[in-house]
Structure 1
Amino acid sequence: MRILAATAIAAFTFLPLAATADDAIKDAIEARHGFYKMLAMNMGTLAGMAKGEVLYDEASASRAAANIEALTHYDLPSLFIEGSASGQAEDSAAKPDIWTNMDDFKAKFAGLVEAASGASEAVKGGQDKVGPVVGKLGAACKACHDSYREKS
């Protein structure tokens, strides 16, 4: 009887910890999705201008690039917590390789930070200025996706 009671107490004691860990994983994935959605929206503005599908507007281009610059000041790798990989957590496209190659993953994010640096100024002066910025940003995104994102 004591063993059963001790087991029940232990189970109920650790249950909130499990819920908290699950909540942390869900929150981290949701935050990652938000980060990438904001990145995609701003990249879409720039890519549309670079392709000529959206009329070039210097203020809009600079604002979109500045938003990307601001996003890269967030510590995105900190949202890749243990247990949030594809196959471990719902709605995650993060390959498990992230956790075995965290230094490389962080280096690839640093590549995005570098590509975004100065982008808000670099897109000024005409539509022809946007394409090279989009190219640098896109290459940085692709470098990470190729290694660490499941194909959907």
Structure 2
Amino acid sequence: MRLTTLVILIGTLVASAAAFAHSGVANPAVLQRMEAMKQIGDQMKVLGSMAKGQVAFDAGAAQAAVDAIAAQAAQVPDLFREPVTDPKSEALPSIWESYGDFTLKAEALQVAANAQISAERDLAPTVAALGAACKACHSHYKD
């Protein structure tokens, strides 16, 4: 359960930081990327609050959250295709220097989000897999 707690904490911190980072973004492409990441973070909060027992497990809400993450993850390669920047962006230049690896990491997030959550026992491994996929990308490509 420790890994799940760590993953939830990371997801919450990322989502909180994203909310502050969006103010003052001038480049519309960067803002669109940031909004997509925020939406993923928001869905991780839904899953995390269930995993921590802060809210009751709801299979429908959990499945909707992973489905939304999968949909956003599918958009990530296109959102980052062009190396546009903004002073508020946390995207590192290494995204475009290693774009193939970056897209593989986005695909790994999408695969992790293709999980089926029909019972509470499905939640922890799904949250752990999603958190690991997020961390794998952020550790290389996010400032």
Question: Do they fold alike, i.e. is TM over 0.5?
Answer: yes
The 1:125/1:113 distance shift into structure 2, 3 A limit, reads same
Q: Distance in 2 between matches of 1:103 and 1:34?
A: 22
Aligned to 1:113: 110
Match of 1:35, as an amino acid? A
Instruction: Count matched residues.
Output: 117
- Asked whether the equivalents of residues 71 and 110 of structure 2 are also in contact (C-alpha less than 8 Å), the reply is no
Equivalent pair of 2:47/2:127 in contact (CA under 8 Å): yes
Verify: 1:139 aligned to 2:120, yes or no. Answer: no
Partner of 2:79: 79
Which structure 1 residue ranges, 5 or more long, are not aligned?
1-24
Match for residue 48 of structure 1? 49
The list of structure 1 runs, each at least 4 consecutive aligned residues, that deviate by more than 4 angstroms after superposition, is none
Structure 1 SS opposite 2:27:
helix
C-alpha separation in 2, matches of 1:124 and 1:138: 19
Q: TM (normalized to structure 1)? A: 0.71
Query: Unmatched 5+ residue regions in structure 2?
Result: 1-25
- The TM-score normalised by the length of structure 2 is 0.75
Are 2:130 and 1:148 aligned? no
Q: Secondary structure, in 3 states, of the residue corresponding to 2:118?
A: coil
Matched, 1:29 2:8: no
Distance 1:28 1:90 in 2: 13
Once the two structures are superposed, residues 89-126 of structure 1 have per-residue CA deviations (whole angstroms, 9 ceiling, x without a partner) of 22100111111111111111111111112x2x2x2122
Q: Does 1:125 align with 2:126?
A: no
Alignment correspondent of 1:57: 58
RMSD of equivalent CA atoms = 1.5
Matched to 1:77, the amino acid is P
